[in-house]
């Protein structure tokens, strides 16, 4: 997933950050729901109302996971942007000629963002939730094969787009002065 998201960031950085944020929110919701269910069952034992209580608490968990993700994305976002600027400066040779909005620096910046989000502050709930989510989505070897095929298709499609176009698509941010400053020289 790291390689696929880095490739998506090279083609559509705005979309890659949103995919990452939504994935982190989902992982946190899964982790919080799982932990609450385990604590409830530890205190009271399994009950028929466990699913209902988990479902009723879902909006609150979604809200808290969203707030936690927004706060936890600050450091990874800064590190990802810093890596993109450092890589583009190193590739250009001079800081004035650096283009941090080009595909290579964006991909490496996304790798740094993802690694920081995974191993950095607040990453424990993302790791636990992701593991539980993958176990639920891919219970069999056939499901894992489908996921690998989808990731391979994403990678191939982004490589195809990169061969035909040298500038990333910033989505709704196209035309903003900050995006133009990052991509044009």
- Tell me: pLDDT of 166 over 70: no
Residue of 111, 84, 80 whose CA lies nearest to 182: 84
The Cα 79–Cα 59 span in angstroms is: 31
- Predicted model pTM: 0.84
Residue 174 has pLDDT above 80, yes or no: no
| Whole-number average pLDDT of the chain | 87
pLDDT score of 33: 92
Helix axes 13-44, 123-137, angle to 10 degrees: 90
Name the CA radius of gyration of the chain, rounded. 19
Instruction: Tell me what the mean pLDDT of segment 165-173 comes to.
Output: 73
């Amino acid at each position: 997933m790291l390689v696929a998201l880095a490739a998506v960031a090279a083609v559509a950085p705005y979309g890659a950050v949103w995919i990452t944020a939504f994935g982190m929110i989902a992982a946190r919701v899964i982790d919080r729901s799982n932990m609450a269910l385990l604590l409830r069952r530890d205190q009271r034992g399994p009950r028929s109302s466990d699913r209902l209580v988990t479902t009723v608490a879902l909006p609150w968990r979604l809200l808290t996971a969203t707030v936690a993700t927004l706060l936890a994305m600050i450091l990874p976002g800064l590190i990802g942007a810093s890596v993109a600027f450092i890589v583009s400066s190193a590739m250009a040779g001079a800081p004035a000629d650096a283009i941090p909005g080009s595909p290579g620096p964006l991909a490496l910046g996304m790798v740094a963002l993802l690694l920081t989000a995974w191993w950095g502050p607040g990453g424990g709930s993302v790791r636990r939730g992701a593991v539980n989510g993958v176990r639920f989505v891919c219970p069999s070897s056939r499901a894992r094969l489908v996921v690998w095929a989808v990731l391979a298709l994403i990678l191939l499609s982004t490589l195809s787009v990169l061969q035909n176009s040298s500038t990333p698509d910033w989505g709704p941010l196209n035309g903003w002065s900050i995006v133009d400053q990052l991509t044009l020289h």
